[in-house]
Structure 1
Amino acid sequence: METQQVVIAGGGPVGLWLAAELRLNDVSVTVLEQRTEVDQRSKALTVHPRSVEVLACRGLHERFLDESLRISTGHFANLADRLDFSVLDTPYPYTLFIPQARTEELFEEHARALGATIRRGHRVTGFTEQADAVTVRAEGPEGPYEIRAEYLAGCDGTRSTVREAAGIGFPGTPSRYLGWLGDVAFDNPPPPGFNRFTEHGGLMVVPLPGDRWRIAGTDPSSATTEWPGDFTMEELRQKTIRIAGDDFGMRDPSWLSRFGNATRLATHYRLGRVVLAGDAAHQHYPTGGVGMNVGVQDAFNLGWKLAATINGWASDGLLDTYHTDRHPIGEQLMEHSRAQTYLFHGFTPEGLALRSLLSRMIPRSKEFSDVLAGRLTALDVAYPAADPDAHPLTGARAPALAFAAADTDLFALLRADGYLLLDLTARGVLDDRGGDRITVRGGALDQVPDGWEDVRAALIRPDGHIAWAGAEEDDAELAALVDDALATALGRR
């Protein structure tokens, strides 16, 4: 029987990113993807700022920056007033507009270059878990076969075979609204950034490569629990005329689709030797274009923890923190998705009034807009600290700290297979704390961000979140605290 350390069910962006993270840790991995080629009908088009930071942490961001349209604003439920991303605390204060098909191609190229085995036309059909392994049943063009692995990752979508076979619950609410979209050509395209929302419905139009356009929207007839059948070009045309007053000369559809707002969250992100990520763990209405981003960030959190567990340098219970870190993010995703779904279907006078009121608050209330932008971009994600007395930065995303004496930033210094220890004492107090899984970087910061004023040392996880931060002024006591933090992080207690 074939053996691998990890088998991943699903070769979309989430599964491919997880495969690459595992290979950066020298973990053998096979990805089984049912599709024989990349689906050119791109569900996702947006890479949000935190996801660009994730790409930068692995040196992949330049490829995306070169091929993408940068958009410095975002929307909440397609409200008229947009969120200003240009003021966000990130080197990438914009979303990247790039079809999911191209994202998937770049991720697959990245994973293959690192040595991941990717089998298209293969699918997981079930598994049997043992105490020290999992036997994965699969089927390919030449018939059924089995792979013995240490762990099985379900990145196989909302109808996940892995999740169902593991008996992991997927509670939530069924679909009560339907959205629709069409990828078409226009003879008379609308102006850039075109969107409308009236009592007749709401829609937005965005450009696609090859002089094509995506038009997506909702309307009063979308409030239904009945499936009305396949979406047609004539329906798209009539809905567009009713909402926008013009069909813009639409023709030659390459994709027409309806989608519902069923909202569900897995009860466990990890159960035994099975882990879930992406749509296998959470299903929601595609509001704000966050779905793929949340899934990739799941994989970014999971990859190093799974690898550390397999390679024997994980602290006790590290893999369990994947669920405690990411399940609350899934709960927040459900809340924001449901709220936006309600606003997306506010076609009554009362609904339009609510939309107008909330829209006007965006430019008038910085706190309100910052909360929405932080959630949408995932720049505000912070994981719970185990120690209630921990420094307030513990668990937060580390910003792109720049060092005064070097042309580099924190993202470029991160490693997938170990921690980064920042020595901000300016005296090299912690220079000798480096090791197999620890890289020490010392020196003064070029600029000190808010909240970092008292920090003299910080331990950064492979996924860019802060494992520990210390403000102790006495050098000897600071060094002792660092030793304690390293022992905890590396499971040496």
Structure 2
Amino acid sequence: MDTSVVIVGAGPAGLMLAGELRLAGIDVVVLERHSQRTGESRGIGLATRTMEIFDQRGLLCRLGDYQTSDMGHFGGLPLDVGVLGAAHQAARTVPQSVTEEALEAWATELGADIRRGHTFRSLRDTGKSVTVRVDGETGEEEIEARYLVGCDGGRSTVRKAAGFDFPGTAATTEMLLADIRGVDLEPRMTGQQTGGGFVMVAKLAGGVHRVIVGERGIPPHRRTSPPAFAEVADLWKRLTGIDISHAEPVWVSAFGDATRQVTEYRRGRVLLAGDAAHVHLPAGGQGMNTSVQDSYNLGWKLAAVVKGTAPASLLDTYHSERHEVGHRMLANTRAQSLLVLGGTEVQPLRDVLSELIEYPEVARHLAAKVSGLDIRYDVGTGTHPVLGRRMPHLPLVVNARTTSTTELLRPGRGVLLDLADNAVLRRRTQGWRARVDTVTATHGALPDDSPLAGTSAVLLRPDGHVAWAAPGSHHGVGTALHRWFGPPSAGHPRGARP
């Protein structure tokens, strides 16, 4: 093999996956057709769950100065995400270019081989390896790897070459986007309905404003290049009455409301992550955040399979877990599309939903949905409220040192958190100590309504999701360890129920 894993695409999904694989010691080659970063920023924010993930890998300090906010929206209707009480707020002023730069620096420092100016052409999956043909800076070459992951966006060539089915609906309308300088516009962060369409304004760093504008009833253009800024300015004036034609365009683009998702995230030794697996209206920036979270789910699983500590069937859980997340995201972005792009016939629905959002339960439900905090994976039966969910930030004391669940996840390994000083539990999990860190810790008082109240032990996967908890799981810790981390090392018991 030339390398263990080839990743096609050096966007957020590809770079996050490269970092996760290198954190686990897996050699990886990233192929990117652009010879240098474009500087374009389709996404301009990081959701609450993505902020948690970046903190769990120590990446927040790489993002520079950024602003946070608890205010979000659902289909243009203001939504207070702060009702969730998460440790992090969403970052509203982090351009995708900054996110990519931070992830690339992290992955490179860990030893990822990132090859720019390399265009993917074809693949051959033999069942034992994947051979990738690329056009590089010095001509055509082939790279053999154990696995190939397509992170190459909505028009993924890897997806097409591997024959993935990509059903869904084509775009019915189009939105125009421009980052501009030289104007001072009032922010409209959640967007605004106009007589003939929808407009949005966001202030970015460096005196740049992002404007997004869409006109109802106009079918999407079949474009082969970005729209001219004059087209954006004309439409903006038509819908708002404001002339921005004198502004300096930094970047102009267009996007639609096409909604598609592959039927499977894995075919043999080829996997897909990010926009290569799902496309949709970019409502609230969920696309980039879901893409990063795809890779966060896949990275540790693929690393374990490559190392041979877990069976290849572990990769099946990548599909079952993330396909469901993608399916639900497409459903909520479709709903938001109706609210944003619909005409006067949708106004009664907007009015009713605005009333419902005032109820705390509704606000929490929608906030969790758009922030990525509503995800619950199938990790087995049980009654504990955090089973399958992401572990919230919890301050801890370990050997008289202050730490937290967030800090314990930094190495990218599993963590068995012993909160009751249970020697029997620690002894019965020795067979996994090469893959899972067992930590005996204490924590401060928890509120009575805390989902962790009364918890004596928690098993965390490397992605921070709870795989087992006591009391409340209907199977032993050994079963959970075997399922997520493979069989115990030779010479150790199989982890009977503690």
Report the TM-score when normalising by structure 2.
Answer: 0.91
**1:250–1:378 Cα change, 3 Å:** farther
- 1:82-137 per-position Cα deviation (integer Å, ceiling 9, x unaligned): 21123323211233421111111111111100000001000221111123211111
* 1:44 pairs with 2:43: yes
Counterpart check, 1:121 vs 2:114: no
2:180 match: 184
Does 2:455 correspond to 1:460?
no
Residue equivalent to 2:76: 78
Asked if the contact 1:192/1:206 (under 8 Å) is kept, the reply is: yes
1:341 pairs with 2:334: no
- Equivalent residue letter for 2:68: R
Letter in 1 for 2:119: R
Amino acid at match of 1:407: T
Q: Is the 8 A contact 2:185 2:201 kept in 1?
A: no
Q: Is the 8 A contact 2:417 2:438 kept in 1?
A: yes
Change in Cα spacing, 1:228 to 1:443, as seen in structure 2 (3 Å) is closer
Q: CA deviation at 1:429?
A: 4.9
Separation of aligned partners in 2, 1:48 and 1:419: 24
Show the counterpart of 2:194. Answer: 198
Q: Aligned ranges for residues 400-411 of structure 1 at < 5 Å? A: 400-403=393-396, 406-411=401-406
* Greater mean deviation of Cα atoms: 424-433 or 315-324: 424-433
Alignment of 1:137-152 (within 5 A): 137-152=133-148
Determine the structure 2 residue equivalent to 1:57. Answer: 56
Return closer, same or farther for 1:129/1:365 CA change in 2, 3 Å cut-off: same
Match of 1:134 among 106, 130, 134: 130
Q: Is the 8 A contact 2:6 2:28 kept in 1?
A: yes
How many residue pairs match? The answer is 480
- Give 1:352's aligned residue: 347
Change (3 A) 1:218 1:192: closer
Higher mean displacement: 198-207 or 15-24: 198-207
CA contact (8 A) 1:137 1:144 kept: yes
Task: Mark the CA change 1:346 to 1:131 in structure 2 (over 3 Å): closer, same or farther.
Answer: closer
> Does residue 417 of structure 2 align to residue 422 of structure 1?
yes
The answer to whether structure 1 residue 398 and structure 2 residue 391 are counterparts is yes
* Contact kept in structure 1, 2:230 and 2:245, CA below 8 Å: no
Question: Paired residue for 1:380, among 368, 371, 374?
Answer: 374
The corresponding residue for 2:236 is 240
User: Which of 291, 294, 301 is matched with 1:298 structurally?
Assistant: 294
Separation in 1, partners of 2:269, 2:85: 38
Whole-Å separation in 2 of the counterparts to 1:130 and 1:417: 31
**Per-residue deviation, 1:141:** 1.6
1:471–1:316: structure 2 CA closer, same or farther, 3 Å change rule?
farther
Question: 2:356 is matched with which residue: 327, 348, 361?
Answer: 361
Flag as ranges the 4+ runs of structure 1 deviating above 6 A.
none
Unpaired segments of 5 or more residues in structure 1?
none
Q: Which one is further off, 66-75 or 139-148?
A: 66-75
**Taking structure 1 as reference, are residues 316 and 234 closer, same or farther at Cα in structure 2, changes over 3 Å only?**
closer
**Conserved in 2, the CA contact under 8 Å of 1:129 and 1:273?**
yes
Check whether the contact 2:174–2:254 (CA below 8 A) recurs between aligned residues. yes
Counterpart CA distance in 2 for 1:5 and 1:182 is 40
Counterparts of 2:184 and 2:204, CA distance in 1: 15
The alignment-based identity, stated in percent, is 40
* Residue identity opposite 1:420 in structure 2: V
Note the residue ranges of structure 2 that are not aligned, 5 or more in a row. Answer: 488-493
* One-letter amino acid of the structure 2 residue matched with residue 135 of structure 1: T
Structure 1 CA distance, aligned partners of 2:67 and 2:472?
45
- State the shift of 1:204 in Å: 1.2
Q: Does 2:219 match 1:220? A: no
**Take 1:417 and 1:107, find their aligned partners in 2: how far apart are those partners?**
15
CA distance in 2, matches of 1:154, 1:109: 20
Relative to structure 1, the CA distance from residue 414 to residue 328 in structure 2 (aligned partners, 3 Å threshold; closer, same or farther) is: same
Does the 8 A contact of 1:86 with 1:94 survive in 2?
A: no
Q: Give me the whole-angstrom Cα distance separating, in 1, the residues matched to 2:437 and 2:179.
A: 48
SS of equivalent residue, structure 1 residue 74: strand
Q: Distance in 2 between matches of 1:452 and 1:187?
A: 50
CA–CA separation in structure 2 for the residues paired with 1:417 and 1:206: 35
Cα contact 1:22–1:307 (8 A) shared by 2: yes
- Following superposition, the deviation at residue 189 of structure 1 comes to 2.8
The whole-number CA distance in structure 1 between the counterparts of 2:58 and 2:460 is 17
Quote the Cα distance in structure 2 between the aligned partners of 1:158 and 1:303: 20
> Does the aligned pair in 2 maintain the 1:423–1:429 contact within 8 Å?
no
Match of residue 486, structure 1, among 449, 470, 481: 481
Indicate the residue corresponding to 2:365 in structure 1.
371
TM-score (norm 1): 0.91
Q: In structure 2, what is the equivalent of residue 32 of structure 1? A: 31
Mapped partners of 1:482, 1:253: distance in 2: 57
2:323 aligned counterpart, secondary structure? helix
The code of the aligned residue for 1:410 comes to: T
For residue 431 of structure 1, report the CA deviation from its aligned partner: 4.1
Instruction: Give the distance between the partners of 2:311 and 2:4, measured in 1 at CA.
Output: 19
SS at match of 1:150: strand
Cα drift, residue 192 of structure 1? 7.0
1:443 equivalent to 2:430? Answer no
Work out the CA distance in 2 between the residues paired with 1:70 and 1:424: 33
TM-aligned CA deviation for residue 406 of structure 1: 4.2
Query: Which residue in the other structure is 1:313 paired with?
Result: 309
CA distance in 1, matches of 2:186, 2:472: 59
CA distance in 2, matches of 1:323, 1:317: 11
Residue by residue, what CA displacement relative to the aligned partner does 1:162-207 show, whole Å, maximum 9, x if unpaired? 1111111001001101111111123333257484312222211111
How far did residue 403 of structure 1 move? 1.6
**Alignment check: 8 A CA contact 1:8 1:154 kept:** yes
RMSD: 2.3
Aligned-partner SS, 1:87: helix
C-alpha displacement of 1:413: 0.2
Contact 2:132 2:144 in 1 (8 A): yes
Aligned residue type for 2:284: G
What are the Cα deviations for residues 35-84 of structure 1, in whole angstroms up to 9, with x where unaligned?
A: 111112211111111001110111111222x32221221111112xx211
- Structure 1 residues 19-28 or 92-101, which shifts more? 92-101
